[in-house]
Amino acid sequence: MTTPEEAARLDAEDELAAFRDRFVPITDESVVAYLDGNSLGRPLRATADRLREVVAEQWGARLIRSWEERWLELPERIGDELGRVALGAAPGQTIVADSTSVCLYKVLRAAVALRPGRDELVTDTANFPTDRFLVDSVGAELGLTVRWIEGPDDVAAVAGPRTAAVVLSHVDYRSAAIADLAGITRVVHERGGLTVWDLCHSVGSIPVALDADGADFAVGCTYKFLNAGPGAPAFLYVNARHHEAFGQPITGWMGAADTFGMAERYVPAPGIRRALSGTPPVLGMVGVQEGVALLAEAGIERVRAKAVALGRWVLDLADEWLVPLGFTVASPREDARRGGHVTLRHPDAERLSRVLIDNGVLIDFRRPDGIRIGLSPLTTGFTEVRAAMERIRELAG
């Protein structure tokens, strides 16, 4: 059932359909479908309103007084709410800070320091470039060996007494395959190592249970499914059991025990605040706060249910319309193993991706031959997806 009537029925039964009105409308009439929300989510109306208020009132009227009145507490306050709504993390373990790359560097260095005498890092060759690059650079910086694996399923075969930390993405940025966070973490702990999870393609798309699954460290961005805006600050999670010994390498003033004491030597703040370095990006955090608030209202379970339904819809349309044209499905077909996007392979994917974007179907190309269809549940409808897939069929035929 891939008819327009079926798409209309699915849209009519969509419990999250009304949330689409909470976003700034797409004014470019050439856009057929925005299927790249897993790279950059659409802007919220509430974010635009809040930014005007922050600039005019908090910054414009209260000036520097706003730091003490509200801004200094934002990294922890928003982090706690993000942890509650999307990460399965109790308060005091998540903080909004820096970019994903900087957060990953911090927790990776901290993880290695917590396992003295171990000289190996483990990651997979399919991991996102930032993760691979940083594992390589931290390995070189500290004289560690990097053990490369083909995918998360290979962790058990290589993790051992020399393993300090295993760095993996929870959802593969190309295929959308979901790694077994709980199972892999358990295996790594049995071998005495620590886990560092990249949640960039998980947070706001699928439920995560960091505390229950025993994760050690996690990082992630907020500008994808959380719709926080381009360059919005990332977050990092440190399980409370590591707080006392957690030492991050970029010891800036915001992570000090007495921020305004101007002490001669650095003394880390207690708890998760020691993960901070420089001055928090207040304007960027507004988008994070509004994105998390919207997710709390929608509910991560409902968001996940719609992501699954959208994924099935793409697979049905692809099987009927695109597979006969030379496309193959690169994402897991089992709902429980697929994240919030579907990747299709095609021998001429790079050229075809440019053609699609020029013709109003905004997707991602991922080397070597992947066309990534992002399914952001709060902004994407079934009729919109059908129109995009029909355009792909027309242009690839």
> What Cα–Cα distance (Å) separates residue 308 from each residue in 32, 180, 282, 341?
22, 17, 34, 9
Looking at residues 263-273, what average pLDDT do you find?
Answer: 97
Question: Does the residue 268 lie in any domain?
Answer: yes
One domain for residues 193 and 261:
yes
Catalytic, 224? Answer yes
- What is the CATH number for 200? 3.40.640.10
Domain shared by 255 and 333, yes or no? no
87 & 17 share domain? no
Q: What is the mean pLDDT of residues 288-308?
A: 98
Residue 131: the pLDDT is 98
pTM for this entry: 0.97
Domain that holds residue 215: 72-297
pLDDT in tens, 207-231: 999 999 999 999 999 999 999 999 9
Tokens for 215, please give them. Answer: 């994760």
What is the CB neighbour count within 10 angstroms for residue 61? Answer: 10
Query: How many folded domains does the chain comprise?
Result: 2
What mean pLDDT do residues 126-145 have? 98
Q: State the DSSP H helix or E strand holding residue 215, giving kind and residue range, or none if neither.
A: none
State the pLDDT at residue 370: 98
End-to-end Cα separation, the chain, in angstroms: 21
Q: Catalytic annotation on 198?
A: yes
Do 111 and 136 share a structural domain? yes
Residue 223 annotated among the catalytic residues of the structure = yes
**pLDDT tens digits for 188-199?**
999 999 999 999
Q: Tell me: pLDDT of 397 over 90.
A: no
Indicate which residue of 19, 173, 223, 327 is catalytic. 223
Same domain, 119 and 173: yes
Say which residues have a Cβ less than 8 Å from residue 114's Cβ, sequence separation at least 6.
Answer: 194, 242, 245, 246
The answer on 271 and 313 residing in a single domain is: no
Please report whether residue 290 resides in a domain: yes
Sign of CA dihedral 263, 266, 272, 276: positive
Beta carbons within 10 angstroms of residue 27's beta carbon:
6
Query: Is residue 16 a part of any domain in this protein?
Result: yes
The verdict on 111 and 77 lying in the same domain is yes
* Residue at which a domain ends, from 297, 321, 340: 297
Residue 250 CB partners (closer than 8 Å, separation 6+): 102, 105, 106, 277
Last residue of a domain, one of 272, 297, 322: 297
Could you say which of 267, 297, 327 is where a domain stops? Answer: 297
Active-site position among 14, 372, 382, 386: 372
Average pLDDT over residues 127-147: 98
- Per-residue pLDDT at 1 exceeds 90: no
pLDDT (0 to 100) of residue 343:
98
- Per the annotation, the verdict on 306 as an active-site residue is no
Residues 308 and 281 in one domain: no
Helix, coil or strand: residue 23: strand
DSSP 61: T
Collapsed DSSP state (helix, strand, coil) of residue 143: coil
% of the chain beyond a pLDDT of 70: 100
Q: Which residues contact 63 (CB under 8 A, 6 or more apart)?
A: none
Residue 66 lies in a domain: no
Question: What whole-number distance in Å separates Cα of residue 279 and Cα of residue 159?
Answer: 37
- DSSP of 70-126: IITTHHHHHHHHHIIIII---TTSEEE-S-HHHHHHHHHHHHHHTSTT--EEEEETT
Average pLDDT for the chain: 98
Tell me the per-residue pLDDT of 71-98, one tens digit each, with 9 for 90 and over: 999 999 999 999 999 999 999 999 999 9
Q: Assess whether 205 and 78 both reside in one domain.
A: yes
Provide the pLDDT for residue 12: 98
Task: Give the model's pLDDT for residue 226.
Answer: 98
Residue 342 belongs to a domain with what CATH number? 3.90.1150.10
Mean of the pLDDT values across residues 175-185? 98
With respect to residue 54, please indicate whether it lies within any of the assigned structural domains: no
Q: Which of 128, 235, 237, 246 is catalytic?
A: 128
For 327-384, write each residue's pLDDT tens digit.
Answer: 999 999 999 999 999 999 999 999 999 999 999 999 999 999 999 999 999 999 999 9
Say if residue 166 is in the same domain as residue 85. yes
pLDDT of 391 reads 98
Q: Is residue 56 part of a domain?
A: no
Cis before 129 (ω within 30): no
Asked whether residue 50 is assigned to any structural domain, the reply reads no
- Spot the catalytic one: 36, 80, 131, 198: 198
Task: Flag whether 316 is in a domain.
Answer: yes
Asked if residue 386 lies in contact with residue 49, where contact means CB atoms within 8 angstroms, the answer is: no
Catalytic residue, candidates 109, 118, 224, 306: 224
> What pLDDT score does 91 carry?
98
Give the mean pLDDT of 22-28: 97
Reading the block at residue 396, the tokens are: 């690839």
Q: Does one domain contain both 271 and 160?
A: yes
Instruction: Check whether residue 276 and residue 163 sit in a common domain.
Output: yes
105 is catalytic: no
